[in-house]
Amino acid sequence: MAMKISFEFLISGFTVGCSLTRENFSFASLDISYTVPIPEQCKEGWKGEVLEEPSIRSESDYNIQCYCPATGRLLGRVKPAYPEDIDKAIAKSAAAQEEWAKTSFDERKRVLRSLLKYVLVNQDTIITAACLDSGKTRIDAALGEILVVVEKIKWVLNNGEKALGPERRNMNLWGLFVLAFLGIKGSENTAWSSDYFVSTIRGALAACGHNPDLVQSITCWPEVAPHLTSHPRLAHITFIGSRPVAHHVAASASKSLTPLCIELGGKDAAIILDDVPNIKALSSLLMRGVFQSASQNCIGIERMVVLPKVYPKLVEILEERIKKIRPGSVLDDDEVDCGAMVSAAGFDKLESWIEEAVRKGARCLVGGKRLVHPKYPQGHYFSPTLLVDVTEDMLIAQNETFAPICVLMRAKDVTHAIHLANSTEYGLGGSVFGRNKQDIDRVVREFKSGMVSVNDFGVYYLNQSLPFGGVRGSGYGRFAGVEGMRAVCNVKAVCEDRFPRLMSTAIPPVVDYPIGDGNRGWRFTKGLIELAYGESWGRVAGGLWKLLTNM
Active site residues: 263
CB 340 within 8 A of CB 333: no
Distance CA 521, CA 523 (A): 6
Residue 341 CA: distances (Å) to CA of 33, 159, 304, 458 = 35, 36, 22, 21
Distance CA 402, CA 300 (A): 8
- Among 258, 303, 277, smallest CA distance to 429 is for 303
Report the run of H or E that residue 115 belongs to, with start and end.
helix 105-121
CB 444 within 8 A of CB 434: no
Q: Amino acid identity of 123? A: Q
| CB count in 10 Å sphere of residue 22 | 5
- What is the secondary structure of 467-496 as a DSSP string? -B---GGGEE--BSHHHHHHHTSEEEE---
Strands 490-493 and 174-177: antiparallel
Q: Amino acid identity of 530? A: E
CB 303 within 8 A of CB 286: no
- Among 286, 300, 272, smallest CA distance to 401 is for 300
- What is the secondary structure of 50-64 as a DSSP string? BPSS--SB-SSSSSE
- What is the secondary structure of 292-343 as a DSSP string? GGGG--TTS--EEEE-TTTHHHHHHHHHHHHTT--BS-TTT-S--SB---S-
| CB count in 10 Å sphere of residue 378 | 18
Left (φ > 0), alpha (ψ -120 to 50) or beta: where does 475 sit?
A: left
Could you tell me the sign of the dihedral formed by the alpha carbons of 522, 523, 529, 535, in that order?
positive
Distance CA 504, CA 446 (A): 50
Burial class (CB within 10 angstroms; exposed 0-12, middle 13-18, buried 19+) of 260 = middle
- Among 143, 132, 468, 122, smallest CA distance to 293 is for 143
- Among 443, 437, 450, 347, smallest CA distance to 401 is for 347
3-state secondary structure of 388: strand
Distance CA 318, CA 363 (A): 13
CB 190 within 8 A of CB 75: no
